[in-house]
Amino acid sequence: MLRIRNLVSGYGKIKVLKNVSMHVDPGEIVTILGANGAGKTTLLSTIAGLVRANSGEAEFKSNNILKIKASAIPGLGCVMVPEGRQVFAAMTVEENLLLGGHAVQKQGRKVLTALLEHQYELFPILRDRKDQLAGTLSGGEQQMLAMGRALMSKPSLVMMDEPSTGLAPLIVKEIFQIIVRLRDEGNTVLLVEQNAKAALGIADRGYVLETGKIIVQGPAEDLLANKDVQRAYLGREK
């Protein structure tokens, strides 16, 4: 579904990603691990078209997304749930969700209504809060809203940037259960996450990014058993 080859990207003269190559197959949860500043957010932002690549290739379902405007990428089925939620605080929950469905509006009101109902079924608290201003929601509720807003475009690939940041452990557990459900419903997930143990616990495969380079990759269970990964990201060593 997604294939990246020798991707170099960054900000101005600063190269953050240095020849990154990776892939995501349909129906997988793939996690990207790494310390702050490793380039994880830059990687997702480059795929989403928010940061322009310097060189390399990035294909999403055979489309060269490095040549496509960021505003057109969700219409191809690739969406990003940004770090820090970034909901529209002055709009209601339902208005935020409907805004997320902009890419599918041409398919008709019936499709949009069905998508809205699915988000309320997936996140029941959003139905209870649908007329509430998004800025008044708790952090966990805002994270669910950000996820639901992205899912309103009927994506095939959902990229999530640090969905557990700042949330209570019980809410984190619920968020990760929802991510697994998304995969079980046929979605593909590319997950950037600081909580390495939780991410590897639900992922099929993972990559470790360090100073802009992939240094370790493999099945999630192999990364959980890797002593270097344990020492750096899991706080333990067998």
**Digit-coded pLDDT (tens) for 117-135:** 999 999 999 999 999 999 9
Question: What does the pLDDT read at residue 126?
Answer: 96
Domain end residue (candidates: 118, 152, 186): 152
Q: Is 83 exposed, middle or buried (0-12, 13-18, 19+ CB in 10 A)?
A: middle
Distance of CA 171 to the CA centre of its chain: 17
- What is the arithmetic mean of pLDDT over 162-181? 90
Domain limits for position 129: 85-152
| Same domain, residue pair 113 and 159 | no
| CB contact at 8 A, 24 and 157 | yes
Q: Please, which pLDDT band fits residue 232 given cuts at 50, 70 and 90?
A: confident
- pLDDT digit string (tens) for 7-61? 999 998 899 999 999 999 999 999 999 988 899 999 999 999 999 999 999 999 9
Indicate whether 4 and 25 sit together in one domain.
yes
| Averaged confidence pLDDT in the chain | 92
pLDDT digits (tens, 9 = 90+) for 202-227: 999 999 999 999 999 999 999 999 99
Given 152, 178, 204, which residue is the final one in a domain?
A: 152
Report, as an integer, the average pLDDT of 55-73: 94
Does the pLDDT of residue 235 top 80, yes or no? no
Beta strands in the chain (DSSP E): 2-11, 14-24, 29-33, 53-60, 63-64, 78-81, 157-161, 188-192, 205-210, 213-219
Q: Strand pairing of 213-219 and 205-210? A: antiparallel
pTM: 0.90
Grouping H, G, I as helix, E, B as strand and the rest as coil, residue 77 is coil
| Confidence (pLDDT) at 107 | 79
> Over 50: is that where the pLDDT of 238 sits?
no
CA distance 91 to 99: 10
Which of 130, 152, 174 finishes a domain?
A: 152
Q: Does the structure show a pLDDT above 70 at 234? A: yes
As a whole number of angstroms, the distance between CA 136 and CA 78 comes to 28
Burial class (CB in 10 A: 0-12, 13-18, 19+), 31: buried
3-state secondary structure of 9: strand
72 and 89 in a single domain? The answer is: no
